[in-house]
A and B are shown apart, each in its own frame.
Chain A
Amino acid sequence: MEAQAPPHSPRLSDAQREWIKAGPKLPEALVLRKGSIDLTFLILDRDADGRVMDIEARMGMKGFVLRVQDPDDGAVYAAKICSAADYDGGRSERDEQRLANVLRQAGALFAAPIHSGRVVRFDGMPGDEVEFVCFVSDWIDGLTLEALCIQKPEMITGEFIVRAANQVFRAVHFLSHHRLKHDDLHWGNVIVRPPVPGLALTPAEENEYSLCLVDTGSLKDSLQPTGKSHDDHLSMVDILHSLYNAAWRERQLVASSPQFFDRFRMLLEALTDEDPLRHFPTPDLFVAALADLEKASRPDFAIKGEHSFSPFDGISAEHLADDQTLLDLFSQALPWFPSLLATKPVVLSGPRGCGKSMLFRYLSAPTQAKAMVAGAAQTVDSFGVYISCATHLQNNLVWIARKPGRAKELAGSIATYFQLVIAREFVRALGLVNRIPDARARFNLNDATLDQWISWVNAQFPTPIETPRLPRESRLMHFANDLERTAIKVHNTMLQQRSSEVILSDGFLGSITSKLVELNPAFSVYPVVFLLDDYTENRLHKEVQATVNRIVFERRSSHFFKVSCERMGFDAVDSEGVKIDSHREFDEMDAGQHAVEDCTTKDAERFLVALIDKRLARAGWKGRCETLLGSSGDFSNDINLANYIRSDGSRQGRHYFYFGTTHLARLWSGDIATTLQIVKDICIQGDVGPDTTKTVTQSVQHSSIVAISKAYRNRVKDLHPYGQQLSRILEAFGQFARTVLVNGTLNRKQNARRTYRIEMTLPAVDTFIDQLEKVNGAAADIARELLRRSVFNPLRESRGKEGPATRTIRLEMRNIYRPAFGLSLEKADEYLDVKTVEEFASMLIEPSKYLEGRTMSYRLGKNQDRDTRFMFGEEE
């Protein structure tokens, strides 16, 4: 038996719904009885049998919509057919006209009914109703909000939600102002419509969609009671909460803007308060709340005072979410800063934590734009675009190199993906800078030029990628999302072993920057610089790097790259194996080498003290580096320290000799994060808080320095690959250096020997690694990792004493490991002389055996004045 709706129910019965779902056969026309007049409309979308397919998508609980046409003038309308029970049968034609006139005042915000009347039940339709109510209004192309969230989730952004909320609120407010209520408001009755053809004047407007509320047949006096659970206000909240839930399923949005969701939830809670007027007494306050919500959707959103800053937050620059903090903490005294300002390609290498990311982020145009607002801008003559290989490439190219040769097979897709990621960051940077008036002026940005440029970029794709947006959404930020989505699609096609629909030429980046220069000559004055951070083998396998190297090192007048990576982090070859001429294409800088060789201890101390003081000041702590740590006293002289360790420090009992700012400077070999870890641990162990101003005891400082040193030493074995072997080398060398320091003979000046360096003189032909490769491939791989991971730092090569055809390489044990072995901290003249590449290889492969042998060959206590050159080499 057919399930019937209850008497007087305004809902369609189950049977009626099933009938509609099945695609009913409908007559060619329907006749609307409007008072004494009959209006005829042709029913559209019928197939040859008269069935209207896809009608299910236009069915609600109470009725369904047909697309109909006036046979006289061809105008297309929406005819909503629904049960009469929900409608005021007493409304006259004049009443309907009055209501429609009110709605028309709101322009395109409502699809006002043009006709209303009755239609007889269709043949075959279940039920015992004689007739139904029918409202005829303009047909609106587009998707309902509900359908859009399912079919085009990519359109859901924070900005979109705020614009949609704004329009729905506007509609509810308008009705309330006219003492009306919609009374059937839900997200299936809100249409997102494209612009009417011909009305869009610019390419930018062609993708500007608008919102329109349809199905106004239930419109009634606002004071008229109904039994419904939702009034218009609650219906609006219902729509907003549905948008929240749709956005919550877009995990990228949640991951990038969690604060948007927190605030959105608070807004909804305020709206469901028993008295929402308490929160939003006037409409403009609700609009202001939406504007705040929109700001919270931006990934760079930060509110002053919302998060307290601890001096040791964001030790890694990648962890500083807020550019203002980055600006406050940035020290221009960074020794290699001036060299990086030059407008030319640079490869900056150095150990992890040496400040590369901080520097690159600082140089980016959005950060500089914020610095302009704060009156702290540098003279950076470029438009920097920061790209982090760790985060922006999303781990998406790592798997490719697992299968040898696959990177070459997928070269086109890899290059496309890489360029899309960079283009996305470029567009996003333009979008962020464009919001700041001073920065807009500097780069001569204007909407017309940017619109023209985006349209041009969009046209470079086989199928344009730009998606619709609501008015006042930033086109740049929206297009950045489109680029990101396209990049994800390209990655997925690689993963699914399908061929990508989008393949860009390697010159894509060059062409879009050239076009921007053409449209806006300011970019020839301020060239685009892509600041590619962490472009290292750890993030991108060398086969993948070889594929994108030709993009990174392409010579273009409109842009260039600055690259940061671990030392030896990439091979400068292209996918054909052709070597990129490093001296011709880019300047190379080694931050670790620079710190160790070019900075005096005083320079380093000054820099680090200032750096730490900036953090303490930013956090509002009273203490400063020099007051908290104090001086290193007599041990500021490293020879004193070495002699003390030899005489007293190596004996049983508690001895404290690592403390003070000089030692902090000596532990630094370019790795700023290490220094911050030490001070952080000293503050934790020494109970230093915001109000502490007294110096932390030497014993606490000593313990912390040794602990952090051991922690770094312990972690070497966890490096991948070759961690175990690197650890063996470090352990063996550390023990060797300790034995020599404590038990070895004194040097000519009667001081303890500080042997923290290895030296080897080689023929000046191939590189040291290449020569090692010829002797022992495994040893070469280990040596590469030893330097890449900065277990040892390379000092600059010099001409060998043996003659002009030779050169001397010097590898020094990284400073931070020294306290763990009980060593002094400064580089010294002594060194372990390794005579041949073969000998060096054996040290790398069997470090304990080799270094124990070198240690044993020196007999303690005998021949104090004997010649030790065989062991330590010639002393200068």
Chain B
Amino acid sequence: MKDKQAVLRRVDFLQVEQQLPPVVPLESIKLEADVFICALGFEERCPAISARIALHSPSPSFALGLTAVYSSNREDNEHNREALTSNISKFCVRSGLLAADQPDLLSHELNQQLGALAPRSGRLHVIFDISTASGNLILSVMDALIKHSRTRPLDLTIAYSEPEEYLPTSAQYASDSESLVLTACRPGDESSVHEYGVAEVETNELYPGKSNENREEFILAVPAYRTERLSRCLQRLTDQPLADPDNFIFWILGSPPDPRRSFRLEMQRKVISSLLGEMSGHEQGAGAVGDALNETNSIEASTLHYQQILQVVIEQVDAQAGKNISVVHMGSKMQAVGMALALAVRSEVTVCHARPDRYNASLYSLGIGPVWGVRFEDLSQVVHNLGRIGTLELQAKIDQQGKNLR
């Protein structure tokens, strides 16, 4: 007998988006916490956030400061060690190191360190400074923090300092975009912008994914501005990107919110178009935008507002369910935060990454720019809310007294 009606709705991203905190200028976030995590990088902005916290903390108020150390560019990174260590010692009671390039060790160590802490309040408050953290490091730390948040309440603040200027500059690009695109698609050397070589191509063991037998591959590629590492990852993930790569690669391009940097998006488009031409053998000529990238095989996502990539990844993974899905993340740092949150609720996705032989420290970025922050007051609740995407809601059509009585 049926006398009551209901409607079934699928929960979509927009229903949970409003529960995601926005990226705001860092000064609007109170920088008090139990734990500070950062990376020892070579860029000038490396100690910027810690200096800011040290300035407002006359005595150590954080229990722990953890610095992730890379195995590449050690001597370049060392230039920032003293400033970073000095800053951290001003506001952290004790400090420790993390292995930035070894996700298994990093995750284990971070979990141990956090587990040993008694937070000042009911929640453990962590500040993660991603200013010089690599995408893979951000994914590893976020995974460890999300898992830890399942065992105790965790309040996470992401802090991020932009550089003053990225390389190539807009002036450099304006004067010689064709040559910049050409060199971006070729193997690099000590004179290349950003980096050169490929040290290793690996799966991040914290994101092994859930591959199934006899399924097509699907790759979500978040490119940077060079193709060497990206191509190696694609080569590892699939045998087939020759004719018709549209069927298995979806490109998530980085859209800078600052219009003065929109040339970076244009450059990225040209670089990827060129790569696609090379992959198919039907080259279009370097620098041609052509129609290699279109709305069916690519989308733009903000390099700062992490929610955009979060939405794209979840929607793409759901649309491609049943395929063996991998992510190659070489995008921005804030995009890595969004990616980590998306993968926390889409654990079937495998993360493939490649480390360069070396970053060209003098050709990477310049100065210290605006600082941003985003605060996830209850990290596990954020992930729980995201987990609702794709579930079903059953809503009774009548709303009488006694509704939902159990």
Given contacts A254-B321, A720-B235, contact A709 B281 (CB under 8 A): yes
Q: Does B234 contact A (CB under 8 A)?
A: yes
Q: B348 contacts A251, CB within 8 Å?
A: yes
Chain B neighbourhood of A248, CB < 8 A? 390-391
Chain A neighbourhood of B202, CB < 8 A? 398-399, 402
Q: B216 contacts A715, CB within 8 Å?
A: no
Q: B239 contacts A673, CB within 8 Å?
A: yes
- CA of A538 to CA of B398 in the docked complex: distance in angstroms? 59
Give the shortest distance, in Å, between B268 (CB) and chain A (any CB). Answer: 19
Give the shortest distance, in Å, between A788 (CB) and chain B (any CB). Answer: 14
A645-692 interface (Cβ within 8 A of B):
673, 677, 680-681, 684
Give the shortest distance, in Å, between B343 (CB) and chain A (any CB). Answer: 10
Q: Does A514 contact B (CB under 8 A)?
A: no
Chain B neighbourhood of A371, CB < 8 A? none
Interface residues of A (CB under 8 A from B): 10-11, 60-62, 86, 176, 181, 184, 186, 188, 222-223, 226-234, 237-238, 241, 244-245, 248-249, 251-252, 254-259, 261, 265, 268-269, 272, 274, 276-277, 299, 314-321, 352-353, 361, 386, 388, 390-392, 394-396, 398-399, 402-403, 495-497, 538, 673, 677, 680-681, 684, 706-712, 714-715, 717-720, 723-724
Complex: chain A residue closest to B234, CB-CB: A718
- 14 A-B contacts, Cβ less than 8 Å apart? A226-B402, A227-B401, A229-B400, A231-B3, A251-B347, A254-B348, A321-B216, A673-B240, A680-B244, A706-B281, A715-B235, A718-B232, A720-B201, A720-B235
Chain B neighbourhood of A223, CB < 8 A? 1
- CA of A241 to CA of B239 in the docked complex: distance in angstroms? 40
Q: A361 contacts B400, CB within 8 Å?
A: no
Q: A718 contacts B235, CB within 8 Å?
A: yes
Q: A318 contacts B399, CB within 8 Å?
A: no
| Top 4 A-B pairs, shortest CB-CB distance | A707-B281, A711-B281, A229-B396, A258-B321
Q: A269 contacts B8, CB within 8 Å?
A: yes
Give the shortest distance, in Å, between A180 (CB) and chain B (any CB). Answer: 10
B1-34 interface (Cβ within 8 A of A):
1-8, 10
Interface residue from B10, B104, B201, B405 paired with A86 (Cβ < 8 Å): B405
Chain A neighbourhood of B354, CB < 8 A? 720
- CA of A155 to CA of B202 in the docked complex: distance in angstroms? 33
Q: Does B174 contact A (CB under 8 A)?
A: no
Q: Does B404 contact A (CB under 8 A)?
A: yes
Complex: chain B residue closest to A299, CB-CB: B212
Complex: chain B residue closest to A254, CB-CB: B321
Given contacts A86-B405, A395-B209, contact A233 B399 (CB under 8 A): no
- CA of A238 to CA of B235 in the docked complex: distance in angstroms? 46
Q: Does B303 contact A (CB under 8 A)?
A: no
Q: B215 contacts A274, CB within 8 Å?
A: no
Interface residue from B3, B4, B210, B398 paired with A251 (Cβ < 8 Å): B210
Chain B neighbourhood of A715, CB < 8 A? 231, 235, 279
Give the shortest distance, in Å, between B75 (CB) and chain A (any CB). Answer: 23
Chain B neighbourhood of A259, CB < 8 A? 322
Chain A neighbourhood of B217, CB < 8 A? 319
Give the shortest distance, in Å, between A318 (CB) and chain B (any CB). Answer: 6
Given contacts A388-B213, A677-B242, A711-B242, contact A234 B235 (CB under 8 A): no
Q: A724 contacts B1, CB within 8 Å?
A: no
Q: B102 contacts A402, CB within 8 Å?
A: yes
Interface residue from A299, A402, A717 paired with B213 (Cβ < 8 Å): A299
Chain B neighbourhood of A256, CB < 8 A? 210, 212, 322
What sequence of 0s and 1s flags, for each residue 363-406 of chain B, a beta carbon within 8 Å of any chain A beta carbon? Answer: 00000000000000000000000010011111010111111111
Chain A neighbourhood of B243, CB < 8 A? 677, 680-681, 684, 708, 711
Chain A neighbourhood of B321, CB < 8 A? 254-255, 258, 261
Which residue, of B209, B234, B393, has the highest number of chain A Cβ atoms within 10 A? B209
Give the shortest distance, in Å, between B238 (CB) and chain A (any CB). Answer: 8
Q: B392 contacts A241, CB within 8 Å?
A: yes
Q: Does B52 contact A (CB under 8 A)?
A: no
Q: A10 contacts B213, CB within 8 Å?
A: no
- CA of A229 to CA of B6 in the docked complex: distance in angstroms? 9
Complex: chain B residue closest to A85, CB-CB: B402
Interface residue from A234, A257, A258, A717 paired with B4 (Cβ < 8 Å): A234
Interface residue from A318, A710, A723 paired with B214 (Cβ < 8 Å): A318
Q: A320 contacts B235, CB within 8 Å?
A: no
Q: Does B205 contact A (CB under 8 A)?
A: yes
Q: A188 contacts B406, CB within 8 Å?
A: yes
Q: A399 contacts B103, CB within 8 Å?
A: yes
- Given contact pairs A60-B406, A272-B7, enumerate 4 new A-B contacts (beta carbons under 8 Å): A230-B4, A241-B394, A255-B321, A723-B232
Given contacts A61-B406, A255-B348, A495-B205, contact A321 B214 (CB under 8 A): yes
- CA of A123 to CA of B122 in the docked complex: distance in angstroms? 34
Which residue, of A226, A402, A712, has the highest number of chain B Cβ atoms within 10 A? A402
Q: Does B278 contact A (CB under 8 A)?
A: yes
Chain B neighbourhood of A392, CB < 8 A? 211, 213
Q: A265 contacts B10, CB within 8 Å?
A: yes
Chain B neighbourhood of A318, CB < 8 A? 213-215
Complex: chain A residue closest to B394, CB-CB: A241
Q: A10 contacts B235, CB within 8 Å?
A: no
Give the shortest distance, in Å, between A154 (CB) and chain B (any CB). Answer: 14
- CA of A10 to CA of B347 in the docked complex: distance in angstroms? 42
Chain B neighbourhood of A402, CB < 8 A? 102, 202
- CA of A394 to CA of B108 in the docked complex: distance in angstroms? 21
Interface residue from B212, B214, B235, B392 paired with A719 (Cβ < 8 Å): B235
- CA of A717 to CA of B198 in the docked complex: distance in angstroms? 11
Chain B neighbourhood of A62, CB < 8 A? 405-406
Complex: chain A residue closest to B280, CB-CB: A711
Chain B neighbourhood of A398, CB < 8 A? 202-203, 205
Interface residue from B235, B281, B283, B387 paired with A708 (Cβ < 8 Å): B281
Chain B neighbourhood of A61, CB < 8 A? 405-406
- CA of A209 to CA of B213 in the docked complex: distance in angstroms? 30
Give the shortest distance, in Å, between B214 (CB) and chain A (any CB). Answer: 5
Chain B neighbourhood of A708, CB < 8 A? 242-243, 281
Interface residue from B1, B7, B346 paired with A233 (Cβ < 8 Å): B1
B320-377 interface (Cβ within 8 A of A):
321-322, 324-325, 346-348, 350, 354
Give the shortest distance, in Å, between A783 (CB) and chain B (any CB). Answer: 20
